[in-house]
Amino acid sequence: MSYIHPYDRPNSYIGRNLSRTRAKRAVAGRGRYTDDITPPRCLHAAFVRSPYAHAKITRIDTAAAKAAPGVRLVMTGAELAEMCTGPWVGTLTVFDNMKAEPQYPMAVDRACWHGEPVVMIVADTRAQAEDAGELIEIDYEELPVVIDKEKALAPGTPAIHPNLGDNKAWEKEAVSGDVEKAFAEADHVLEETFYFGRHTAVSLESRVLLAEYDPGTERLTIHTSSQCPHMIETVFARTLGIPEHNVRLVAPDVGGSFGLKIHTFGDEVATTAASMKLGRPVKFVADRLESFGSDIHARENRVRAKIGVMNDGRLTAVDFDVLGGAGAYSQYPRTSVFEANQIMNITFGPYKHEHFRSKATVVYLNAVPTSQYRAVGHPIGISVGEFMMDWAAEVTGVDPFDIRRMNVMEDDGYPRNIGTGIPMKDLSHQACLEKLRTLMDYEALRREQAELRKQGIYRGIGIAGFIKGTAPGPEGYYGAGGARIASQDATTVKLEPNGGVHVCLGVTDQGQGVDTVMEQIAATALGVPVDHVRAISGDTDAVPYGGGTYASRATAIGGEATYQAALDLRREILDMASKLLQCAPDALDIVNGNVVDAGSEQERISLAEIGRIGHFQLGELPRGYQPVLSHTRRFRLEGLPYIFTNGIHGAYVEVDVDTGWIKHLKHWIVEDCGRIINPQLADEQVRGGCVQGLGGALYEHCVYDENGQLQSGTMADYITPMAGEMPDIEVAHVETPTSESELGAKGAGESGTGAAPGVVMNAVNDAIRPVTKGRVTEQPMTPEVVLKALGKV
Amino acid sequence: MSEETATLTLTVNGEDITRTVRVRQNLVDFLREELGFTGSHVGCEHGICGACSVRMDGTVVRGCLTLAVQCEGAEIVTIEGLTDTGEIADLQDRFVERNAMQCGFCTPGMLMTAAELLAQKEEMDRAEIREFMSGNYCRCTGYHAIIDAIESVNNARLKG
């Protein structure tokens, strides 16, 4: 019998647009988010947070708060520290010479950022807890504030943490070839400095945690809005000194996450500690103001870039220097230096260049700690690299498409290494570039642009190629770096007595459609109707240990584990059927939920019958034959730190040269995430990610004043994109399966985010080119920034 | 600091309700915490995000900017009620088919606002729909799929 690949079977679900069951629940208002769960005797936590960016805490008087109505517990940072096994230190051994100050969940004797939790109040209602918070007296002695990253390492600037010596968190340099020689030989040497503001995730559902400690069984159950249940379980157990196997962590529906919810936060540890102390359920829901002041921030970077270009448009050398502004501490356990590190990795990633030098420095500031947020580092590196490519096109007179055609790595030229030495495979820059050119009808757009300019309408066309690191493996950062964050993932696939299938996932679903995608994969590998398969995720008591969903890894890593586990179950079912039917296993197949004859597809025995016999009527099987009907497989990436993906964006914008207002007219994306399981879900990941990138490019900014006071603590001050400002986004794919797995899927969740800011910056600069020599080199690209480039302010 | 309370009588999703409420409690907290209508969500508590949108006497209001005590005698409809009456069953089906939501947290508020748009029975192009929906924040979808879903249902209803 010739082997038919499961994807090519008539009943394959790979490549089909199935609807999500979670969606059906959401539209009826039946989603179940953490704050929708309120157990009996539940208490509510609120926090008093530091009003200063840096201050010594000299006295805390909680007496009046303790006596206030409904108050059951008041806990200071010092009291909480006593319940902890020790402070967190946010370093990873892979980051050489990284320095980090130990950090307790709440400020102990010193507050280091505006919004750091100082005292927790637990009361019968949240309102009572907040009322009591107003009765707490805290004396502060203000300390010097370091908020400007450019000055953080200047002589005379005090060290925020004197034990570290200075404010430097980490520094790294990577060199290959000889950039100085290449610059000397280049026809053009171009140099520019870029500034990127701080952003934050603004998940619509804020951080929420409900802790329930049972003193009788000494078991702790936590419901929380999390992407990484096992990691949170591990960190909380170790921080609060409770055995990990006594902790159950449940992530029910999660109302947006975007990297925010892969982290651990002090107020959440405090809430859990309160439940352990009181033996009662305690819930904490961050309000929007405290979200802005305590959710991780990201992106704040300055980049100086320099390239060498020949007259024909060939890129010869790149050199860039990154300065990242972290917060007051390095975020535990993933650190606050990944962003700068990732900028080093991916900037100019699509292009050949023999000579490469990059340097990153990360400094501490009296601000909210920064860490991983969707497409870590990519929006910055891609904006810089693609600006420089457009500039190279301008000075050499080569069309922006043509200069990229000339410089991209060839699709048949892999494996190759990026500048920092990390290997890349299975990329498709050339195919994506050509597909985008057709998709956006580049020639027609250029004609329209030229016509409109005659009428005083300034439209710009941008393109921006990218690479994206997805699905990190254990040889990357966390595993090798010593953090207890799983880079493998596991799936258990089980045949239930009625022939239904449970798929228990280490990866999680925050609305991407991971559950549905895994059901499609398992149904295809097994040969059963997809509605016979149900995914279970987000409960550490029910699923195998895994990393959860971060870094675009769910389908690439968890998908392969699911695929292999389902194939194992399939093999066992066929083996068991062959014993019952007294034929060879390879004479049988599974189609549409039935074991059939491999050739004729004649039905022999249903999976319901296999389930019934396998669970109840085992006497029908030969003596000594013990069916398991439950298979777990794990998958890890080997030999590579990431599965790199690639793609390219196009954008068409109009700039009002009098007001600096940018109207984003249309956006196109061609990306290659390898094997696509559910095209609609992949497209929507790309679209949603794109708008998140556009928000950062155009509006979003965590603004601090010179005293380290956060000025953008509401959604009226921190502007996120709404439907009216956003364009339609056309998405297309090139499908180059990764050679690292049988399934062939790569990550898709961040491809939209990474290149969106760069492509819009290029389009804006293309629009204003006829009227100014100035260029936009700063994000967010507010009207003021655009007017500065136009020389009008 | 004893809490001031008031007696409130209103209709929620067609059912008569009388409760003693804290006068400072807003409508969305009242619906969620006192009545268990957890389909309405709390996103920003200052009227920007639209996650708490509910219908009050036929008009969509922010549940976070409306005090429960302001609803004396009012008729409130939440996503649960809107679902039970079948008024937007076509829109809900289209949202599911088109995957016009990811995490689903904005979805009840989004549907509440879209129901108001559909009730106008007017032809609207994509730009007009985008403008109408601009009081509801969605971080996941990028809005494109939401606009697709609303546009197709509005067109279908106008034809129908």
| pLDDT for the residue A473 | 87
- Indicate the SS3 state at residue B36: coil
Tell me the residue ranges of DSSP E strands in A232-300.
247-250, 282-285, 297-298
pLDDT above 90: percentage of residues in chain A: 96
pLDDT greater than 70 at residue A6: no
Residue A568 in tokens? 């194992």
pLDDT tens figures, A550-569: 999 999 999 999 999 999 99
pLDDT greater than 90 at residue A479: no
Q: How many pairs of residues across A and B have Cβ atoms under 8 Å apart?
A: 183
Residues making up chain A, counted from first to last: 793
Quote the pTM value: 0.97
Q: With contacts defined as CB-CB under 8 Å, which chain A residues touch B134?
A: 722-725
Asked if residues A121 and A45 have their Cβ atoms less than 8 Å apart, the reply is yes
Mean pLDDT for A444-457 is 98
Taking alpha carbons only, the member of A590, A636, A632 closest to residue A503 is A632
| pLDDT for the residue A158 | 98
CA A250 to CA A248: how far, in whole Å? 7
Asked if the bond preceding A780 is cis, omega within 30° of 0, the reply is yes
Residue A734 in tokens? 């090139």
pLDDT tens figures, A198-218: 999 999 999 999 999 999 999
- Indicate the SS3 state at residue B5: strand
Q: Does A28 touch chain B (CB under 8 A)?
A: yes
Beta bridge partners of A493: A503, A631
pLDDT tens figures, A378-404: 999 999 999 999 999 999 999 999 999
Residue A287 in tokens? 């309000």
Which stretches of chain B drop beneath a pLDDT of 70? 1-2
| pLDDT for the residue A11 | 79
Count Cα neighbours of A240 within 13 Å in the Cβ-side half-sphere: 29
Beta bridge partners of B77: B55
Nearest CA in chain A to B26: A127
Q: Does B42 touch chain A (CB under 8 A)?
A: yes
pLDDT tens figures, A39-90: 999 999 999 999 999 999 999 999 999 999 999 999 999 999 999 999 999 9
pLDDT tens figures, A331-347: 999 999 999 999 999 99
Q: With contacts defined as CB-CB under 8 Å, which chain B residues touch A256?
A: 102-103, 105, 139-140
- pLDDT band of residue A477 (cuts 50, 70, 90) is confident
Q: With contacts defined as CB-CB under 8 Å, which chain B residues touch A202?
A: 139
pLDDT greater than 50 at residue A1: no
Asked if residues A298 and A198 have their Cβ atoms less than 8 Å apart, the reply is yes
Amino acid occupying residue A726: M
Q: Does B103 touch chain A (CB under 8 A)?
A: yes
Nearest CA in chain A to B95: A27
Cα separation values, B8 from A122, B3, B27, Å: 28, 15, 11
pLDDT tens figures, A708-745: 999 999 999 999 999 999 999 999 999 999 999 999 99
CA A694 to CA A686: how far, in whole Å? 12
**DSSP one-letter code for B134:** T
Beta bridge partners of A11: none
Reported ipTM: 0.98
- pLDDT band of residue A639 (cuts 50, 70, 90) is confident
Q: With contacts defined as CB-CB under 8 Å, which chain B residues touch A254?
A: 103
CA A419 to CA A767: how far, in whole Å? 31
| pLDDT for the residue A474 | 84
Three-state SS string across A681-696, please?
Answer: HHHHHHHHHHHHHHHH
Asked if the bond preceding A333 is cis, omega within 30° of 0, the reply is yes
| pLDDT for the residue A2 | 43
Q: With contacts defined as CB-CB under 8 Å, which chain A residues touch B98?
A: 680
Asked if residues A230 and A506 have their Cβ atoms less than 8 Å apart, the reply is yes
CA A112 to CA A98: how far, in whole Å? 19
pLDDT tens figures, A506-557: 999 999 999 999 999 999 999 999 999 999 999 999 999 999 999 999 999 9
Please identify among residues 70-99 of chain B the ones whose CB lies closer than 8 Å to any CB of chain A: 78-80, 83, 92, 95-99
Show the DSSP H helices in A162-265 as ranges. 179-185, 229-240
The helix (run of H) or strand (run of E) holding residue A519 is helix A514-526
Nearest CA in chain A to B148: A728
- Indicate the SS3 state at residue B84: helix
CA A650 to CA A442: how far, in whole Å? 9
Shortest CB distance from A512 goes to which of B48, B97, B102? B102
The mean pLDDT of chain A is 96
